[in-house]
Structure 1
C-alpha cells in the first residue's frame, strides 16, 4: 500500500503539572487500535500501525525503512509528522537534541529521529552501488506565515515563489540546493536550518515551532541503459561525459557557499526526491495564550493545516478540483500528496486529558486521510524525444486517479 498512516501516543511530558493535565485519556490498545476516554463515552480509532508511549524511535523507523528503498527504485517519497503543539512531532522527526550538532556514529542512537536515521540508511544503500551512480543534493526550507523561506540562504527572510514546470511538476528555482556526499554533511545543513527556523515559547510548549519545516533530498541516478530507448545509441561514457560537463559548468558558476540548483533532467538521468516534513503544531489560541505576532503565526499555521485536510478530503471524494493552491504548504507538497510519491503520515498526540479536544481533532484528521488510497507511480527515465516534448510543452499522461478504500 502506498499511502500509510501511523499513529504515535507520547508519554505525559514533565511540564504537565496539574492533575488534569497529567491524567491520560488517550490509550494504546494494540498495534492497530486506540481508545479515547471522553466525558460521554469511549471512542475507538483504527490505523495501519499504532505506537504507544513505550515504543522506541527504532520501532518507528523499522516501519519507515522500506520506503527508502522505494526512493532508489524510482519513487518519490514523503514522510510527514502531524499533530498538536507539544505532541512530539519534532522529536519523532529529529530526536531529542534538535538544536545541537549531530555527532553521528555508524549505529543509530536511541533518541535519533526519522531524519538522521533515514539519511544514514540512504547513504548506506547508495554506497552499495558503484561510485558516481548517485548524486545527492539537499535543501531546507520553512513555510512561515504562508511564505516559503530558504533556511540555507544567507538571507533566510527572502520569500520564494513556486513555479510550474512544462511537465506539470513544481519547483523553487530560487531555492538553492547543496550537493552532499555524507550523512554528516546532510545533517550539518539540517542543523543549520534548525538554528534559523522560527520558534517561540507558548503556554503549551517552551520551544514551539512556528513554521513548517521541509527537508528535501534530491537523488539523481545515472542509468546509461536508458539511452538504449533513444533513436541512436550512446555508450556509458557518453552519459558520464554529459553529466560531467553539466557538473563542471555548474561548479564554475557556483557561489563560494557551494550551493547550487538541482541537476537538469536529461536522457539517462532519473530524479527522485525524499521530502521529510515536520509540520508546525495545530493550536487552540485559548490554551497556547499567544498574542500579537504569535497570534498571527498561529492563524497561518491552523489555516495551512486546514488546507491540508481540505486537500485530502477532496482527493477522497474524487472532486474535480483539488484546492492545492489554498495554501503554500499544500501547493509546495502537491507532488508529494497528489503526485507520484509514496506518502507516510505520522500522527502524534499527547495522551493528556487537558488536550483531548486537540487529540480528537488529530484523530479525525487521520480518519479523513485514511479514505485516500491510490497506486504509486514509478518515475520513468525520459528518452531524448520525450525530453524535447517536455521542453516544447506537449501534454503527457496524467497521474493515475485516486480511489477510495
Structure 2
C-alpha cells in the first residue's frame, strides 16, 4: 500500500523484479485498475500532454511505469549481448467493446485506429487478427510508438476528469529468443553474432549499456538452433491502462459519453467476474463476456505472472467507488494459479503466433 506522497520510483519497485521474467521466457502482465480520475494513467505513463508526450516534472520521480519498464527491459537485454532477442511492440485500445489497432498503417483510419477482432487460435492462444507490430531496438523507439498510440486513444471530459480516457489501452511487448532443443531459453545454446560484431557488445565492454535508451543498437534476427532447428521461445509483456470505472451520477455524462461509460463498466464487471471465477476455481470461466477479458485470457487464466495495481481516491465523495475498487482488489488477491510456466517453443504443438 502506497500513500499519496510516495514517488513513482517507489511504486516501480514492485514492478521491476518482474522484468527479468520476459527476458527469461515467461509472460508478464501489469495492469492498473481504478475509478475515473484516480491516477491510473499517471501511474502507468506519468504526466502526459494531450498529444501523448510524456511530461515528467522531475525525471527521477515522475516518470510512470511504462517508460521505466522500457528503460529497464533494454538494460536487462543488454546485460547478455550474446542472447539479444527480437523485440516487437503492438498497441491496441478497447473502445465501446471494439478493438482498435493503434499501430495500423491505414491513412483512412489514422484518427481512430483500425478495428480488429480477437480470436482463439487452434493452439489455444488468444490473438488479434491482422494486428500490426513493429520491431524496436531501444527504449526510446518503444516510447515513440507509445506516444503515437496515445494520440489516437479515445478521450472525453467529464465532471470528474477533464481528460478522461474512454478506452482500455493494452501495450504488448513480445520477445522472441532462440531456444534449446528442449524448448527452454538458454544462454549457452543461443548462437548469435559474435559479441565484438554487435553494438551491444561494444557498449557493454565500454561500460555504456544504458545507451539502449538512446537507440544504440538495432534488434538482431533470431538465430536458429546450433543443430539447424529454428526453435524459438516467445514471451509477452503486457502493460494495461484500464479505463476508469465511473458513476454516471457523479461524472455527469450524457449521449455518446454515457454509452462509453456503460461499455467501460460492463467490461470491468466482466473482468471482476473472471477474477472471481478463477479465485473460486470454477470449471468454466466466462472470458468471452467482454473483448477485454477475451483478449487478456492468457494472462488472466494462463501461465503469466499478473500484477494488478489498484488506484483508490481518498475523497469522501467517491466512497462508493472506493469500496468497489477495494472489492475488485480482494478478488484479484484471491486468485491462486500456481507457479508461472514458460510458453512452449515454436517447434512444439503449442506454437504461439504473433499475428
The superposition leaves residues 255-296 of structure 1 with CA deviations (integer Å, 9 ceiling, x where unpaired) of: xxxxxxxx9x98421100100000000000010000000000
Instruction: Give 1:298's aligned residue.
Output: 261
Structure 2 counterpart of 1:164: 120
- After TM superposition, list the pairs within 5 Å mapping 1:59-138 onto structure 2: 59-97=10-48, 99-102=51-54, 109-130=60-81, 133-138=84-89
1:346 aligned onto 2:309 = yes
**For this pair of structures, how many residues does the alignment match?**
308
Q: Is the 8 A contact 2:91 2:169 kept in 1?
A: yes
- Per residue, is there more strand in 1 or in 2? 1
CA distance in 1 between partners of 2:176 and 2:54 (Å) = 25
Q: TM-score, normalised by structure 2?
A: 0.81
Q: Distance in 2 between matches of 1:131 and 1:100?
A: 35
CA RMSD of aligned residues (A): 2.5
Structure-1 residue corresponding to 2:288: 325
1:73 is displaced (CA, Å) by 1.9
Q: Is residue 28–residue 236 contact of structure 2 (8 Å, CA) maintained in 1?
A: yes
Structure 2 stretches lacking a partner, 5+ long: 184-188, 194-221
Cα deviation code 1:226-251 (max 9, x no counterpart) = 1378xxxxx966x98xxxxxxxxxxx
Q: Which one of 148, 154, 158 corresponds to residue 202 of structure 1? A: 158
Between 1:88-97 and 1:128-137, the stretch displaced more is 128-137
Aligned-partner Cα distance in 2 for 1:304–1:77: 21
Instruction: Work out the CA distance in 2 between the residues paired with 1:300 and 1:81.
Output: 18
Which residue does the alignment assign to 1:37? Answer: none
Asked if the contact 2:92/2:102 (under 8 Å) is kept, the reply is yes
Task: For residue 157 of structure 1, report the CA deviation from its aligned partner.
Answer: 4.2
Q: Which runs of 4+ in 1 moved over 4 A?
A: none
Q: Secondary structure at the match of 2:71?
A: helix
Instruction: Quote how far apart the aligned CAs of 1:348 are.
Output: 0.2
Aligned residues of 2:52 and 2:148 also touching (Cα < 8 A) = no
1:140-189 deviation line (CA, Å, top 9, x unaligned): 11000000001112324432111222221111131100000011110011
Contact 1:149/1:159 (8 A) holds in 2: yes
For 1:63 and 1:117, how far apart are their aligned partners in 2?
12
- Segments of 5+ residues of structure 1 without an aligned counterpart are 1-49, 230-234, 241-262, 392-405
Could you tell me which residue of structure 2 aligns to residue 175 of structure 1? 131
1:215 is the counterpart of 2:167:
no
Query: How many angstroms does 1:100 deviate by?
Result: 4.7
Match of 2:327 in 1: 364
Contact 2:29/2:305 (<8 A) preserved: yes
Q: Measure, in 2, the Cα distance between the counterparts of 1:108 and 1:136.
A: 25
Going from structure 1 to structure 2, the CA distance change for 1:311 and 1:180 (only over 3 Å counts) comes to same
Residue 271 of structure 2 is matched in structure 1 by 308
Contact 1:108 1:117 in 2 (8 A): no
Contact 2:270-2:289 within 8 A present in 1 as well: yes
CA–CA distance in structure 2, aligned partners of residues 308 and 102 of structure 1: 28
Q: TM-score, normalised by structure 1?
A: 0.71
CA shift, 1:318, in A, is 1.5
In 2, distance between residues paired with 1:170 and 1:114?
25
Q: How does 1:20-31 map to 2 (within 5 A)?
A: none
1:150 is matched with: 101
After superposition, give the CA deviation of every residue in 1:344-402 in whole Å (9 maximum; x if it has no partner). Answer: 00000111111111111101111122221121332155374x3xx457xxxxxxxxxxx
CA gap of 1:309–1:117, structure 2 versus 1, over 3 A, is same
Greater C-alpha Rg: 1
Distance (whole Å) between structure 1 residues aligned to residue 239 and residue 93 of structure 2? 12
Tell me if the contact between 1:311 and 1:322 (Cα under 8 Å) persists in the aligned partners.
Answer: yes
Q: Deviations over 1:289-343 (max 9, x none)?
A: 0000000000000000000000011111121110000000000000110011000
Cα shift at 1:109: 2.9
Q: Give 1:227's match in structure 2, choosing from 172, 176, 181.
A: 181
